[in-house]
Structure 1
Amino acid sequence: MASRNNVEIIKETDKCLRIVDALSKYDFIAMDAEGINLGKDGPLTLLQIGTVDDKVYLFDIASNKDLFKKGKLKDILQSENLVKVIHSCAGDSAALYHQFGIKLKNVAHLVISENKGRRLPPSMKLSDVCQMYSDNAQPLDQKDKVKIKWTKGDGELWARRPLTAEMIEYASNDVTALIPTVYHNQKRILEERNLLPEYKTRVEDEINFHIDEAVSHRKRTRVDGIVESILKDIEKKYGKDTRFQDITDEDEINAMHHARYEPEVMSPFIKKLKTEEIKARLKELSDQLSTEGNNFIPKAKSYGFLRAYQYISERDIQAEAKRLQQALDTLFLADMKNKYSLTTNINVIAPYEKDALRSIRPRSQHDSTINPILLSLYWQKQEKDIDFEIEQLQITGRSYDIPQGKYKWLKYNCSDNVPDRIKRKAKRHLDNYDKTFR
């Protein structure tokens, strides 16, 4: 962990130029980023870089976006010579590319599942990665405290300035934990197992996951293939009386988690295991809600799977999924009243929060029974969804299709119950749709 004396906050372009010049002389650096629900749309506000001699540089992008181009920070991020050691870089990469036109290069990603011989990637926090590759490297114990602050109380925390001591410590520790021990140990394992070529391919896929649709499709196809292979192995390996709770192999558990519930093509045994896996997943979520109550911290970017489970034939699964969906929607909406404001942009809220907005049913554009912050976000989401439909029609032309439910939703948005600009967009979209298929 870097001491506060070894941490520098960089706002000035001239200072950035000098530090970038010094960083370019290293063989590898650690990198991370913070932002507001960081990703393609969620703004990147801080970039952290750590060095092997325990120095940390916090580049304050919220205060000066010129640090990337005029400050030459972009050059080292795109350098083929300097290794950037990163944990979980898909969101960082998407933000850098879509917001600043920066394509990360020469990345050492922590952690790719094949490093330890796993076929499917486990869900791993930074602390898990550190424990895998180092006995000493541990992230800040108080990380969860800061996470709770922006998850529950201040959704735009990473845009606040000045940075607090707590924020500085959190951001600094995300890079000091990665090098040198964790990085060197992972690299050694990759070399010993002759995995470097495959590893580099997987890292490129991680970098491009939210940039290139072909990459994300390729990754999904690869995972589906692995899942199918593991499910076939499970059929051969276990007796038909085996329960999901009896399975301890990590690959097999992950495969059941990734497997789609498709009773028409699943064998009776795999269907049984998948049903038990769904019930176990629902119980885990229910237990978390019971334990944490109003302090519930989301573990997923989206809980959309709960809506899918409400269409499964088993009545008990339907009922439990609906109950949990309603409980989460209520909880997330209550948090959003506190953590956001009337000026909050829909792009900065989390996917699970956007899902929760679907449960709002305003009777008019100024419905006084709904919290003004939630109502503002709701109408922003409606407009963004219509903009997406408009774009899809422009891209796909006569291949574009509107299911009946979506058509009814668009017709509703042509009514006087919605803001005028949304009504105009919805009407124009339906007019263009009718012209396309006339």
Structure 2
Amino acid sequence: MSGLRDDRTAPIEQIGGEGLSRAGVRRAAASLVERVRGGDLGSLPVIVGLVVIWTVFQILNPVFLTSKNLVLITMQCAAIGTIALGIVVVLLVGEIDLSVGSVSGLAAAILAVSFVQLQWNPLFALAAAIAAGMLAGLLYGFLYSRFGLPSFVITLAGLLGFLGLQLWVLGDTGSISLPFDSVFVQFAQQWFLPAWASYSVAAVAVALYALSLIRRARRRAAADLESQSYLEIGVRSGLLLVFLLVTAWYLNLSRGVGVMFLFFIGLVVLMHLVLSRTRWGRAVYAVGGSVEAARRAGIRVDRIYLSVFALCSSLAAVGGILAASRLAAANQSSGGGDTNLNAIAAAVIGGASLFGGRGSAFSALLGVVVIQSISSGLTLLNLDSSVRFMVTGVVLILAVIIDSLSRRTRVASGRA
């Protein structure tokens, strides 16, 4: 979420309200044009594409942008979006995980069996399901680091193996229903924030965001680097607050902000902070940029791969639990169908590069919103899944083309 920059290096207290002067705006616009020419498109193509998709579907069916339908879209985003979040992390190191669907289905099966049949405490059942996903990822990381097997082959074998394990865990019944009064189903279907709570969450989120910008600006100013002015921080924070409050108000016209969707947003923000503010996150980007350079810099590359695969499978397990909770059942089709395709497509469409080293946690959020918007819009138009698959495929190809072209542009600019 890069914003306008003041070219002067004076402390933030001194540049005060001049950060959004006419000259500053011109410099920011020139900087934006230069970044675009250099191939640094960021989330711009995704946002433009989302606006086009929403506009087209709204014209074809005015129900699309109603509060009721948008609430439904947000709730549909949580499970696949959580799985896509793990895919983003794996893509950042230039690898792939094709088994996230099977791992999510296995986690759903373990949750249902332990909670319903074995009568375990909900927390124990939840921990067992997530632990199974983490163990799967640790196995991938070990095989990749120890034997140098391609991640494509390892996770493809995992897709088959964990699918079989899922069927074995479910047993002869093949389907286990979760009680509608259980905490899992209530969390996924029935829990929505009261209007005042949604507004409060928006205000607290913006306050924390503004505080982080102020602290960052002060650190940069102290180091004689470009820093944002208080006015610019205030404008950005104010615009974000207006956007969040209007969004919450509109969703509150129907059922409101779902707790499960808020949980997903929390995961995205947490992952963003981990990737951008911690040594581990910087190491992930370094490995994705150049493995050899990262190794020479002292980064334990094998540990990074191990942790990335474990995190991806853990998030896949969480996504499987959310999906089973929303369906109120775990069965043989849990994690099957287009779960793998949608999760990977969401990560790539959202801006995570297939070449590694580029992308963010918000790629999962943007990508899954695009995927679910297409699905919802085509459903409202009474078009079957065949059309949805074709449209999603076209969007995915366009996203990869944009990624490839921007990468070539960045390389050419670097050589120049």
TM-score clears 0.5: no
Task: Look at both structures and tell me which one has the larger radius of gyration over its CA atoms.
Answer: 1
Q: Which has the higher helix share?
A: 2
Q: TM-score range by the shorter chain?
A: under 0.3
State the structure with bigger RCO (CA 8 A, min sep 6), 1 or 2.
2
Q: Which has the higher strand share?
A: 1
